[in-house]
Structure 1
Amino acid sequence: MSDATATAPDSADDAPKKKSKMPLVLGLVFALLGGGGGFMAVQMGLIGGETAGDEAHAPDPLEPLPPVAFVPLEPLLISLPNRSGHQYLRFVAQIEVAPEHAADVEAIKPRIVDVLNGYLRAVEVADFDDPNALMRLRAQMLRRVQVVAGEGRVRDLLIMEFVLS
């Protein structure tokens, strides 16, 4: 029995020691101090934001928008090939022009509709599946409208509806 008592572990001496929580507490304290110091520095204007001289400066007023007119186009309904899975494309747009050119563009609207109708019928249906297709189609149509209307008359082509059904 003397061997058994000699090899029995001493519970007080061999118990695992707990790790100190001091680094965790110090990290938390430094994080709070750093966050508070950063908040105060921003509030006082020492870091980023406005300086004391900027507070008295009023913001500049916004410049007025240039005059603009919109010429609406009649809705176009384009029939698509049966193999595409879609039957029709409904297209509605407006043309952005300077007010002094609105009457000129209104007068040639049938030509513009004809050019857009011809272009949209020539586009491959597979091109509509591309996520960037609308941006590319819009740029192509705008260029064609600008050529028909004459340089400087048309500013932009705004697509109101582009629906495949």
Structure 2
Amino acid sequence: MAEADAPQDAEPKKKSKKPLVLGLVLALVLGGGGFYAAWAGLILAPAAPDHAEAEEEKPGPLPDIAFVPVEPVVISLGPGSFSRHLKFTAQLEVAKSYADEVTLLMPRILDVLNSYLRAVAVAELEDPAAMARLRAQMLRRVQIVTGEGRVRDLLVTEFVLN
């Protein structure tokens, strides 16, 4: 009966919601301030160049390069392919001082390119993603033929399967 004598009106104390509301308001204010600072470029923005520096920044002279054209190579493909021929044309990027030497070696370059392209599987030639590998392989072979440091790059200008 002791329980019946206890007052029923005593309610447990409720926790205050003041800290929760204060934390929410502070989070919104700080979030909005951070957004404005980033949007206005006050933080996380690239440094703006001075006007004097921007005027002085002009493109430099072109590098000392020359392009040596490679004669078109036409290769007949085997009977198992959808295409019958491959037509390949390229340009070799060389230093101007080596342009004459590379031109002199063009028959050897054509031979190595012709031999390599005939040895590649037809499925690989027809794969569009294989162009980077083919180009790298051909460049390496041309560099071996011409000597180290003469040919900088091989630029494929035509690669047609018909």
Normalised by the length of structure 2, the TM-score is 0.71
| Separation (CA, whole Å) in 2 of partners of 1:87 and 1:94 | 24
Structure 2, gaps ≥5 residues long: 1-27
User: Equivalences for 1:50-129 in 2 at 5 Å?
Assistant: 50=46, 54=48, 56=50, 58-59=53-54, 61=57, 62-129=59-126
**1:59-91 CA deviation, whole Å, 9 max, x = no partner?**
462444321100001111100012212100010
Please name the residue that 1:14 is paired with.
none
| Inter-partner Cα distance in structure 2 for 1:95 and 1:108 | 12
Residue 45 of structure 1 aligns to a residue whose secondary structure is coil
> Which residue of the partner structure matches residue 151 of structure 1?
148
Q: Which moved more, 1:59-68 or 1:69-78?
A: 59-68
**How many residues are paired up?**
134
Q: Deviations over 1:125-164 (max 9, x none)?
A: 0112434311111111101100110111000000001111
Match of 2:42 in 1: 46
Q: Which runs of 5+ in 1 are unaligned?
A: 1-29
Residues 90 and 45 from structure 1, CA distance in 2 versus in 1: closer, same or farther, beyond 3 angstroms?
same
Which string of whole-angstrom CA distances, capped at 9 and with x for unpartnered residues, describes residues 80-132 of structure 1? Answer: 01221210001000000000000000111111011101110111101124343
1:90 and 1:77 mapped to 2: Cα distance? Answer: 5
For normalisation by structure 1, the TM-score amounts to 0.69
Give me the CA root mean square deviation.
2.7
* Segments of 4+ moved more than 4 angstroms: 37-40
Distance of 1:110 and 1:136 partners within structure 2: 23
Candidates 137, 157, 161, aligned match of 1:140: 137
Cα separation, 2, equivalents of 1:69 and 1:129: 31
Q: Which amino acid aligns with 2:89?
A: V
